[in-house]
Amino acid sequence: MAGAVIIDIAHKHRNSRGVKVPFHIVQARRDRLAELLGQHHYLPVKELCRRLGVSEATARRDLAALVGEKKIKRTHGGALSEFNDRFPSFRDRQGKSARAKAKIAKAALAFMEPGGTYFLDSGTTICAMAEAFRDHPITPATIVTSNLPVGEMLAAIPDVQVFLVAGQLLHLQSTLLGETAQRSLEFWEFDTAFLSAEAMNPEGIWNSQSAIVDQQRVVLQRSTRAVFCIDGSKLNREAPHFLVQWDRVDALVTDVSTERLAQAGIILQDAQRAPKGRGLPGMRKASAPENAPSSEPDADEMPIHIL
């Protein structure tokens, strides 16, 4: 009887133009919706609308039907809380691709010099960079971050001033996000922003949550240089939210070779291979101070791609 009720409702369903939609089309769309949520664990309604080509009212109706069929679970607390609960936590992600992140972290220090003001993004790769900075501090420096472990780690270093953005605390993600955080960033101008991402492909760079992308775009507007630190596990992937095209990226620090990037359809200008910690073309000698990591060539040379 319950099944008949659901079918009856589906037959009465109309699209945004008021046209009745056959039940098999509605069911196929809902199956696809359930599949998307199964793959990504979390997707905001607007993203579901984009992927399925439906209105928000239709998407919400489909979600309610899937909840009624117990194919998905409803979450409460808003998009950020849902993201915090459903996306793999900071600690869960910290151990993945650890060796690549450590290499990227040491290479990224070449973009820092004494006296600079820097933004350090959320994410585990940027946390690895903070660990490298802690071991080889480049001071004095002003650090602004949304990354709680980074703030705690660097605040104890002499001659380093650390500021946290204001925002909603997502405890599982160890980050601060939201409109308040974005507004607090408008007080700052950054020499270099070190940013992370969930995916990179020929179109550009992608991330997992709209609030992260919105915050990163504010940072990009207020930064002289944007350095993206992305490991090879993110190559040839697409996340729910597009951030930026490659022509808006000043540098990519990655463990992926130039050849592999090219095979993936990512062609960067002036790409070169540089050892970790070595000063980069166009940067002052202060970029590689005496207390920076060794610049001697070794088997772990990092491809640093400069646009």
Lowest mean pLDDT among 13-22, 85-94, 151-160, 291-300: 291-300
- Give pTM, 2 decimals: 0.65
Give the pLDDT band (50/70/90) at residue 141: very high
Q: What is the pLDDT of residue 36?
A: 78
What ranges do the domains of the chain cover?
2-74, 91-306
| Fold classification of 2-74 (topology level) | Arc Repressor Mutant, subunit A (1.10.10)
Q: Which amino acid is at 18?
A: G
Q: What are the pLDDT digits (tens) for 229-278?
A: 999 999 999 888 899 999 889 999 999 988 899 999 998 876 433 333 34
Same fold, 2-74 and 91-306: no
- Positive or negative, the CA dihedral 87, 89, 90, 94 is negative
CA distances from 267 to 89, 118, 253, 260, 264 (A): 32, 27, 14, 10, 9
Helix-helix angle 210-221:78-86, to 10 degrees = 110
Q: Which residues pair with 229 in a beta bridge?
A: 253
CATH of 91-306, one of 3.40.50.12280, 3.40.640.10, 2.40.30.20, 3.40.50.1360: 3.40.50.1360
